[in-house]
A and B are shown apart, each in its own frame.
Chain A
Amino acid sequence: MRKRTGIEVSIAAAEAVGSANVDVIAAYPITPQTHIVEHLSELVNNGELDAQFIPVESEHSAMSVCCGSSAAGARTFTCTSSQGLALMNEIVFIAATLRLPIVMILANRSLSGPLSIWNDHTDVMSIRDCGWIQVFAETGQEVYDHVMFAFKVAENPKVSLPVILNMDGFILTHVIEPIEFWEPEQVSGYLPTFKPVNALDPDRPTTVGAFGLPGIFTEAKKAQDMALIESKPEIIKAWEELGQVTGRHYRPVETHLAEGAETVFLTMGSIGQTVAMAVETLRERGEAVGLVKLRLWRPFPFEELRRAVGGAKRIIVIDRAISYGGTGGPVASEIRAAFYGEENMPVVTNFLCGLAGRDVTPDDYIAMYQQTRRMVAGRVRQEDYVIYGVRE
């Protein structure tokens, strides 16, 4: 194994973007994303990275600049969190329709209000249907590796879609972790030069962002939906190639002690590590419990999820966001939909926890497991959910 360096994950993420030889970075600082863009601006300012760093006046402009530079054929990166994502919202959706291979790290933070700077997934869930490829990282090393992965997938001419890489704010952004950096020849071997499908070119003028009248809008949406669905095999291929380069093997859905499990937890992002500890404890006590981790959120990996859950009778879905007045957590409603009508459909219980940075310990997950055992003795309805630990 190559040497690992103890480094703040945000700095490592910025180094990864630099190693990927990005051409344009347009970003506005916001907690907890700040260190990533700060370090990138330092790299550019010090002459270590030959790129344009465009310090825009808002996130709305950041994503607009990204669309322009990506359309011009430049490898483009941005990074934001929470309110910043909310401000860039309208352009985020347009970037996907225009099939611009922008890479964005989303340092996940709660969406106000109440005003909060801490971590949960309410920001990314607000743009669930934006049409970007969306992946979650569990550790700093995964963030680093997935920067290369994100550019490779986004710029693959068979894909040509923007990619959001989710990393939990503070829990990942501000932690110091031993990270194995890629050698320059590993990056260049993995990540080919960007050849845009459609680059703005005076010799071949085109209209980008044209009006879509009712007569063509439905067809445009179908084309966009198919592009996202058909990106999945290319995503899996990019992970396989990454495995050959690094020895680290990523998949759309990953498991831990899930073999023979009657109950599985389902997580996204960094809490997978905490839940893994709880699962190990429960296994030692003789409980048939496992963990299923969703790495790929869009396109949704239906087949891989059903395979990973296997014959489990119960799924405990951990959500880090609320769908007010609806089915509880956005992840749980997706998981229930994925299994609806399947033979031996598992019972899904849904726990909302870790909102805006509230700590959730392995003991809490063990308590959720015990509560699930009590709940499934009765009848669990589609709309049932528990806001875990809320003071009544």
Chain B
Amino acid sequence: MKSEEALSWKDLEVGCVVSQPGNASQYRTGDWRSMRPVVHRDHCIRCGVCYIFCPDMAIRKTDEGYFEADLYYCKGCGICAQECITGCISMVPEEE
């Protein structure tokens, strides 16, 4: 499939129907982020509250049982930091 920038009006399906369902997963919502969640593992109890509260399901469980944001999707809303029981997530400004 062509990227959005390569599509001409003639390439669109009738009625702007999207015939590949689920292709929203290709969309990098991480571009919206101005603050990034950083987990301090020394305080993390691996409870998964951040995982439950993340509104975009952008938090994944690592092999060691910790929880980390997938920065491709994470919009930096800060809900995980707000809800974290031990306060081990801090929001740091994106440098770039």
Contact = CB atoms under 8 A, between A and B. Distances in A.
A binds B: yes
Interface string A206-224: 1110101101101110110
Nearest to A220: B16
B63 interface: no
A100 B11 CA distance: 19
B49 to A, nearest CB: 30
A213 B14 CA distance: 17
Given A205-B21, A219-B9, A226-B9, A210 B16 contact: yes
A206 B21 contact: yes
Nearest to B19: A206
Contact of A208 (B4, B5, B10, B15): B15
B17 A198 contact: yes
B51 to A, nearest CB: 26
A99 interface: yes
Interface in A249-282: none
- Do most interface residues of chain A lie in helix, strand or loop, or is the interface mixed? loop
B7 interface: yes
Most A Cβ at <10 Å: residue of B7, B10, B11, B18: B18
Contacts of A99: 14-15
Nearest to B13: A198
Contacts of A227: 14
B15 A98 contact: yes
Contacts of A213: 4
Contact of B17 (A206, A218, A226): A206
Contacts of A222: 9
A372 interface: no
Interface in B12-33: 12-19, 21
Contacts, number: 54
B4 to A, nearest CB: 5
A197 interface: yes
Nearest to A98: B15
B15 A100 contact: yes
A160 interface: yes
B21 A197 contact: no
A218 B16 CA distance: 12
A223 B21 contact: no
A198 B21 contact: no
Contact of A216 (B7, B17, B19): B7
B8 interface: yes
B7 A219 contact: yes
Contact of B15 (A197, A204, A218, A226): A197
B9 to A, nearest CB: 4
Contacts of B9: 218-220, 222-223, 226
B21 to A, nearest CB: 5
Contact of A198 (B7, B10, B15): B15
Nearest to B11: A219
A215 B7 CA distance: 9
A97 B10 CA distance: 15
A210 B13 CA distance: 12
B4 A207 contact: no
B1 to A, nearest CB: 13
A210 B20 CA distance: 12
Contacts of B16: 97-98, 210, 212, 220, 223
Contacts of A207: 17-18, 21
Contacts of A206: 17-19, 21
Nearest to B10: A223
A56 B4 CA distance: 38
Contacts of B11: 219
Nearest to A99: B15
A208 B14 CA distance: 10
Given A206-B19, A222-B9, A160 B14 contact: yes
A223 B12 contact: yes
Q: What are the 8 tightest A-B residue pairs by CB atom distance, in nearest-first order?
A: A99-B15, A207-B18, A222-B9, A219-B9, A223-B9, A98-B15, A205-B21, A215-B4
Interface of A: 97-100, 160, 197-198, 204-208, 210, 212-213, 215-216, 218-220, 222-223, 226-227
9 contacts: A99-B15, A197-B15, A198-B14, A205-B21, A206-B21, A215-B4, A218-B9, A223-B9, A223-B10
Given A100-B15, A197-B15, A206-B18, 9 more contacts: A98-B15, A198-B17, A207-B21, A208-B15, A210-B16, A212-B16, A215-B4, A219-B11, A219-B12
